[in-house]
Structure formats: structure tokens, C-alpha cells
Structure 1
């Protein structure tokens, strides 16, 4: 779960042959004269862009964080739908994110501390860009992923209803049993869900993710609010019944909107990396499911979602970068094997409670995630590379 709505799939986000680099580096970009490169310099109080007008088509945001806080950078539509973003940009580091945009008005936002609406710059995309012809296999991958995302949303509603029915019945043990499995479909396709901006804060925010001024008792809704009632408060009230009904309402909204997400090959690849970031920043640390300790269920679902995107894109990526595909196959297999040691069998989602996982084992999991995340950050470039 992100502290702010995290995107990747919404908007006209697509193909670019520039490598998506996630390495921490501070050297100045040598592509600053390229019309399709926008340098973004973030600090704790400013968000400067090298140009406020650039042509449609491929764009690369070359982001440098000169502040003292970890930041995020977004490319937004005027209504705050997210075209693309990159989070967890540490002080003194530079990261790159690629997209394809159509002509129109947009905003670039820097979010010091990864909180709030951010510091924004209005930018204009002119109509001069021309989209590259796409490999038909990539169109097939997009179609298959769109179907997968819809299936996950469709399958989530019945499972979530089992959970919320137990909450409304006051059956704490039944609600606990249904909680983690009700979240699997969401976790598998989280970047799609978060791309709509307004759904994630309603259903998946943690208490420390609330915006300044929000009241946890009045404004906090969703799975994690109910998680607190079940495992920490150990009681269910009329308020929890109201929250259960609201969760189903919000998840139904998500289910109905999944088909409206604009999904592209590059956004699929970037979304796979975002799912690994979800694991690294929430699941491995134990912050996500701090009361239920069901983090490994979310962890596995995030990895499954990332692997689904990768598998669909793999035939094209293999032609363009066979070595990368070999490394990704290796690292996905290693992480899957490691996760399987924490569940009763490979068909169940009955995982070890995360508070029973030792610090050494948590580090082993973290190392496996990092070993996969680095090559996965290169998948988007491999998908659109020209041989």
C-alpha cells in the first residue's frame, strides 16, 4: 500500500527505448538537449523542470533529488489522474521514468516526504510527436493483461463480501480468517487500482498514510481500519459494520472502473516494478499488515502480479535482451522458491505469520526482492528496444 495514490497504468503511458534506470547516481544527464527529455530537479521546497513544453510521443523524466527528504515525482493529467510516476527517490540520487503522452495539458508534481498534493508545474505537450508502430504481440499482451486485471477485480468482490459479512455479524474469528484472502486480487493488480487516484486512499490506506488534518476515527476507512479493530481492538462495533459496507461499495467502484484503465506494454513493465516496490517498502518491513501480520500473503500476491506482466511481455523482451530475460527468470524462480518455504503447500495462501519471521530471514527476503527489482527495472526498455 502506498502513502499516496500510486499509478502506472492510467493514461497514455507507453514505449520508449531509453533505459529506465533506478540506480542512485548524481551525474548530469547528457540528454538535456533532447526534446523528449524533461529534467526535473526536486528539493524540499521546489520542483523545477527544464522545459514546460515538449512534443507528444516518447518522454523521459530525468529526476534529480537535491533535497534532504525522499521524494516522488508524478506526471499527471489536469484532473489528477496519473500518467506515470516514480517514488522513493532518495536525497542526492537520480532516477528516470519513461512514458508516451498525447498532446494536451499535464502537470509534473514533486512530493517531498511522499506526502500531500506536491509542488506542481504545469506543462504542455504539443501535437508534434508520432507514436511508434507496436509489435502485435505487445497488443496481445495488453489485451491479456486487461482481462487478467478485470478477473482479479471480479474475484475480489465475493471474497471481500465473505470478510465484510463476518464483520457485520460480529464474528471476529471468521473475519480474521477471511481478511487476507480478500486482498489477494487487489494486491496482484495494485498499480491498476491505484492509477485511479481516489480508490486506494479509501480501501488500502494505513493510519500513518492519512493526510494532515484527517481524523483516524472519522476519515480512515478500508481494510486496514478493520484490521485494527479485529487484531488490536479485538472488538467490532456499529462503526465497523458501516466500514464494511463502505469497503464493498468502494471495491465495487474499482471493479466497475478497471476496464477504463489505459494499459500499455511499458506501463505493464513499470507496474511490475512498482509491485516489487510495494513489497520492499511495506511487506518486507512488516508495516503493511502491522496488526494481522499477514504480510506474506500480500507479498506473494504482489510477486504474482509482477510475474504475470513479465510473462506476457517476455517473448518480445527475450528477442531484444535475452540476457535480461535469463536473469529475470532466475530471480523470479528464486523468490518464488523462497516464499514457498513460508507456506504449507504451493496451492494455499496459508503463510507463516510475519511476526514469526526472524530478522535474518526478513533480510533474506529483502535481498531476494532487491535482486529481482534491479533487472525488473530494465524490462520496459527491453520491451520497446529496436534490434
Structure 2
């Protein structure tokens, strides 16, 4: 579990977020009321303003602390992720660009990338600059939204069904069958991971990795069960039957809650574009490093599923991009294909090779292909809304 830009809950107008790469230094803003400078340190999160007019907001985030940090713009409830930038190293800067309607928000810096962060209220007042999509694109946009909503709902339905099968196998002690189904069930989570992660309460309970646990946080969800199915050789006490039942039932309950919430979601075209980029960030920060499935080493199933989701989201808006930026569309299509070719080379009759069986050269090739795709994909939202 990482925390990429999440697709927000139902909104009446588009809500856009995009970010730039790490750079050294930071200019502190141009005097524009929609440009906010953010200075993150180990114990503070200082903003140059706590309010702004609606429209395209630009948060210029500089890390003056000693730890890697993140910056979030959250909904009024403090849970819904409107936009984020993560992995901001010390003395580096990144930008978060958000097209935000009027309303109440919460900002947060997260030194060390853990905990609730250093939070403050932020207000966006109504102005004449509101998010909009050209009327000429409405037919293409309408089809993209319809298709993506159907895709997410279908993947959520399949996640419920496969999770039910998985927990029944796990509770009954049929571990070989549970191990075989584990990566297949998680495929449906990974394909819509940016949507699932938009629910800030559910994601930590369902997909937290042991290495990312906060002090005192109870470990539940997929990876807690993963460790029990693929236990370390020493120093591990297997779960009892009652503990297995508790964790299995908790995972199933949260999966059903997720499905109910997903069925109520609608999307905007910019959210689809940002979801594509967010899924590639998931690959770059967890899957390509082998950190996601540390016990089972089934990372390539997750890797493929994130790529599937990113590609489906891109293809949904591809006709719009082909009209507005045909060169970008050509580049993205080619780079998706190049990454897929590398993944296909690691397929087996039962799925993929285990991640710890890859050579260092193979891992590097995958990493290079992810980076090559991520660079132009960062421009997708801007192209869709241009």
C-alpha cells in the first residue's frame, strides 16, 4: 500500500490534481492568490496562505526537514484525498496542482510519510474560475466516464467474489489452495487501487504492509494473512484457528464495505487521467521494488494489475488526447506496449515468476520501462483538460 493521488468521491464539478518531479530549491510564489507556498519541516507545515479563490490552485511544497515528506490536500472530513505529492526528499521541492471548487479542505504535511501528519484547515472561496471541459469534448468525455465507471464496478464485484473464496479456503486450513488464489484475488484490488485508496479509513485496514505500520496500529488485511500463509522460517508463531477466522472475517467485511461505496461513485475525466498516473506511481514505489508482497513474492501479479488499471484509464481518455496532443498519445501507447512486453516475458502457466527469482538486470529493465512511461503519463491530465 502506498498513497497515490486518489479518485475522489462524487463531485458536481471536475477536481484535478497533478504534480511535478522533484527539483532543487523553490520559488516562493508569484503573488497569485491561487499559488500557495508550503514549507515542510520535521515538526511544522507552514503555508503562505490558508485560503484561496476557487480554480486552479498551485501548492509549491519545499522540504526543509531531515526526513522524506508528503503533502496532502484533503476533503473537509480529513479522509478523502483530493490531491497529494509524496516522496519529497530533504531540500527538494514538488508542486501539487489542483483544480478545486469552493469548499472547506484540510492540508497536511507528513514528515517521515507516517501518521496523520501536521494538519490545518484550508478554505477555497467561490470565484469566476471554475473547472470545465470543452463542450466539443462532451461526447467523448461521456463515453469515457461511462466505460470507466462500469470497469471499476466490475472489478469491485470480482474482488468481492474472489475474496469470499479466498477467506473460505484460509479459514478451513486449505493453505495450498489459498496461496494459489491469493495473487489472483488481489489482482482486482490492484486494478482499482487508486479508487480504493481514496477511502482513507478502509485502505490501512485492508492493505497495510508490516513495514508501514504506525506505533500501536493493529495489523489487519491482506498482508497480515499473507505472512501467515508464507511464514518466515524462524521467529514466527502461526495464527490460531480463531485468529484466522477473525482476520478473514474482517477482510471480507471491509471488502463488502468498499464495494458498497464504489457502487455510489461517479467520476470526472480528470480523475480518470490522474488515476492512470497514480497506478503507475504504485508500481514505481512498491511493486518494482519487491516491497509489496514481501512474504509471497507475488509482486508481478500486482505489477501487471496496476498496469492494467493504468492502461484502461488511459485508453478511456485516449480519443480526447489524440485530438488535443497526438504526439503524447503516440508516446503513451508505445510505452505501455514496451512495458507490457517485459511483463509478458515473465509469464508462466500459473501466472508469473516469483519476484525473488528475477535477476537484477530484469528488475532494472522493468524499472526503466516504468520510468519511461511515468514521464509522459504525468502530462496526461493537462492534455485532457487543455
Answer yes or no: is 1:296 the counterpart of 2:300. yes
1:121 corresponds to 2:157:
no
Q: Indicate if the aligned counterparts of 1:63 and 1:95 stay in contact, CA closer than 8 A.
A: yes
> Alpha-carbon deviation of 1:319?
2.0
1:327 to 331, 356, 361: 331
The match for 1:189 among 188, 192, 203 is 192
RMSD: 2.0
2:201 is the counterpart of 1:198: yes
8 Å CA contact 2:19, 2:97 repeated in 1: no
CA contact (8 A) 1:55 1:103 kept: yes
Q: Is the 8 A contact 1:15 1:384 kept in 2?
A: no
* Cα shift at 1:282: 1.1
1:358 Cα deviation after fit = 1.1
Within 5 Å, give how 1:344-359 maps onto structure 2.
Answer: 344=348, 350-359=351-360
Q: 1:77 is matched with which residue: 63, 72, 75?
A: 75
Question: In the TM superposition, what is the alpha-carbon distance from 1:256 to its structure 2 partner?
Answer: 0.3
Counterparts of 1:195 and 1:277, CA distance in 2: 15
Could you tell me how far 1:262 is from its partner in structure 2?
4.8
Distance 2:329 2:248 in 1: 43
Alignment partner, residue 288 of structure 2: 284
> Any gaps of 5 or more consecutive residues in structure 2?
none
- Is contact 1:21-1:378 (8 Å) kept? no
TM (norm. structure 2) is 0.91
Distance in 2 (CA, whole Å) between partners of 1:121 and 1:175 is 44
Q: CA contact under 8 A between 2:99 and 2:131: conserved in structure 1?
A: no
Residue 174 of structure 1, aligned match among 177, 185, 188? 177
Q: Counterpart of 1:110?
A: 109
Contact 1:7 1:196 in 2 (8 A): no
Matched residue, 2:63:
65
- Assess if the C-alpha contact under 8 Å between 1:167 and 1:236 holds in 2: no
Q: In structure 1, what is the equivalent of residue 344 of structure 2? A: 340
Residue by residue, what CA displacement relative to the aligned partner does 1:258-308 show, whole Å, maximum 9, x if unpaired?
A: 133452222222221211111111111111101111000000000010111
1:1-387 residue pairs with structure 2 within 5 A?
1-2=1-2, 6-11=4-9, 12=11, 14=14, 20-29=18-27, 32-80=30-78, 81-134=80-133, 135-136=137-138, 137-214=140-217, 219-232=218-231, 235=238, 237-238=240-241, 239-344=243-348, 350-385=351-386
Partner SS, residue 113 of structure 1: helix
User: Structure 1: how far apart are the matches of 2:383 and 2:100?
Assistant: 19
Say if 1:9 and 1:271, in contact at 8 Å, map to a contact too: yes
SS in 1 for 2:220: coil
Distance in 2 separating the partners of 1:220 and 1:383: 39
When residues 77 and 21 of structure 1 are mapped into structure 2, their CA distance, relative to the original with a 3 A threshold, is closer
Deviating more after overlay: 359-368 vs 318-327: 318-327
5+ long unaligned stretches in structure 1: none
What's the TM-score, normalizing by structure 1?
A: 0.91
2:24 partner SS: coil
1:224 positional shift? 0.5
- Distance between the aligned counterparts of 1:6 and 1:293, measured in 2? 22
Q: How far, CA to CA, are the matches of 1:317 and 1:61 in structure 2?
A: 26
Q: Structure 1 residues 91-100 or 290-299, which shifts more?
A: 91-100
1:316 deviation in Å?
A: 1.3
Q: Which moved more, 1:366-375 or 1:77-86?
A: 77-86
- Please say if residues 141 and 312 of structure 1, whose CA atoms lie closer than 8 Å, have aligned partners that are also in contact: yes
Query: Following TM superposition, by how much is the alpha carbon of 1:242 offset from its aligned partner in structure 2, in angstroms?
Result: 1.4
1:51–1:31 distance in 2 versus 1, CA, 3 Å: same
Greater mean alpha carbon deviation, residues 61-70 or residues 151-160: 61-70
- Secondary structure at the residue paired with 1:88? strand
Q: What is the CA distance between 1:362 and its match in structure 2?
A: 0.8
After TM superposition, give the deviation of residue 161 of structure 1 in Å. Answer: 1.2
